[in-house]
């Protein structure tokens, strides 16, 4: 997928940065990662709040085999098929990914504050 294609898909959010990572690319909006592109497949950030919506739309969660053959579930989901054809749908899914990124940041900040208070 070309960088310009990725930027176009997320234009409803505003500017995004596309950076190389893990042999693929990360898509960032306002400093937060909202998607990854690996082996030509774009996946949106999700969490426990948005997972039911991704599942209902037929999206697949990024999973890989960890040690001892255990599946490792990553917080990224394939882009629902409707989003490739309808810019409004992609805008909604991109917004869900950004909301998940914001929640992840809040959770990380709370955890860091708790650890700092314990010291």
Q: What is the pTM of this model?
A: 0.88
User: For residue 113, what is the enclosing H or E element?
Assistant: helix 87-118
Q: Is the dihedral of CA 93, 91, 17, 4 positive or negative?
A: positive
Q: Which residue, among 23, 49, 18, 48, has the nearest Cα to 34 in the 3D structure? A: 18
pLDDT in tens, 72-109: 999 999 999 999 989 999 999 999 999 999 999 998 77
- Mean pLDDT computed over every residue of the chain: 92
Residue 110 has pLDDT above 80, yes or no: no
Q: Across the chain, where does the E strand assignment appear?
A: 17-21, 24-29, 32-38, 41-45, 61-65, 71-78
Task: Quickly count: other Cβ atoms within 10 Å of residue 55's Cβ.
Answer: 13
Whole-number pLDDT of residue 90 = 97
- Residue 112: the pLDDT is 72
Domain-wise residue ranges, the chain: 3-114
Q: What is the pLDDT of residue 119?
A: 64
In CATH, 3-114 is 3.30.1460.30: yes
């Amino acid at each position: 997928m070309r960088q310009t294609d990725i930027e176009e898909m997320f234009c409803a959010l505003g500017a995004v940065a596309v950076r190389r990572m893990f042999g693929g690319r990360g898509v960032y909006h306002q400093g937060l990662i909202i998607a990854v592109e690996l082996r030509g497949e774009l996946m949106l950030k999700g969490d426990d709040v948005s997972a039911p919506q991704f599942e209902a739309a037929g999206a697949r969660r990024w999973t890989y085999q960890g040690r001892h053959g255990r599946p490792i579930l990553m917080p990224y989901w394939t882009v629902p098929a409707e989003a490739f054809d309808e810019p409004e749908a992609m805008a909604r899914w991109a917004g869900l990914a950004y909301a998940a990124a914001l929640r992840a940041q809040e959770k990380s900040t709370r955890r860091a504050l708790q650890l700092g208070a314990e010291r």
